[in-house]
Amino acid sequence: MPWAAMTHPTPGREGSALIPETWRTRLLRWGFNIFPAYCGTGGRITSIAPDWHEARVRVPLSWRTRNYVGTIFGGSLYGAVDPIYMVMLIKLLGPDYVVWDKAATIRFRQPGRTTLYARFVITPEQLDAIRAELATTTKIDKVFQVDLTSADGTVHASVEKTLHIARRQSAPGSMR
């Protein structure tokens, strides 16, 4: 098999077995982590499944993410999870679909005083439902939820992302 295993699972999470990565997803992960807008959040993508159905993020408590009172800055928490579902859906749905972030909410439940982890999952059934719904309408909004948890499984923040998804329209006169 042409893949290498991720080196660290998400602690305290069900299904935290190692996620295999292809060289392609590993390179995309590395690129994402050095992209200035994402790197500035202090978060790191730790793995991307070869089929893009799962991704994992780690947000450490460090000098880059620490706020005035010594916990993880809320902007770091949100920034680290912000683009993940959108990018996953773009990869999973392919070029025939348009995906945009539309809205987000974050609920802070407990201060982050240690490294926090997020696990993003989009199931094949969710994709089938999106495609089926877009077969009968031009655009939809879907809400995805992710928790930021500590190693012991305690939820420190919950983020809801509303994504706008539409079937890409062919330009008039195109051969598409």
Tell me the CATH number at 98.
3.10.129.10
Q: What is the pLDDT of residue 47?
A: 95
3 lies in a domain?
A: no
Residue 22 lies in a domain: no
- Mind listing the pLDDT tens digit for each residue in 52-77? 999 999 999 999 999 999 999 999 99
Residue-wise pLDDT tens digits, 95-113: 999 999 999 999 999 999 9
CA pair distance 153, 11, nearest whole angstrom: 8
pTM of this prediction? 0.84
**Residue 43 region, left (φ>0) first, then alpha (ψ -120 to 50), else beta?**
beta
Does residue 23 lie in a domain region? no
- 3-class DSSP state of 155: strand
State what percent of residues in the chain have pLDDT above 90: 81
* Whether 59 contacts 74, CB under 8 Å: no
37-72: b or e for each residue (b if 16 or more CB lie within 10 Å)? ebeebbbbbbbbbbebbbbbbbbbbeeebbeeeebb
Domain membership flag for residue 21: no
Count the alpha carbons within 13 Å of 147 in the hemisphere toward its beta carbon: 13
Overall number of domains in the chain: 1
Of residues 65, 53, 43, 79, the one with CA closest to residue 159: 79
Distance CA 107, CA 159 (A): 6
Query: What pLDDT does 170 receive?
Result: 67
Q: Which helix (H) or strand (E) holds 52?
A: none
174 in any annotated domain: no
Please provide residue 32's backbone torsions phi and psi, each rounded to the nearest 5 degrees.
-60, -45
Helices (H), the chain: 23-34, 36-39, 74-81, 84-93, 124-134
Structural domain for 104, as ranges: 40-167
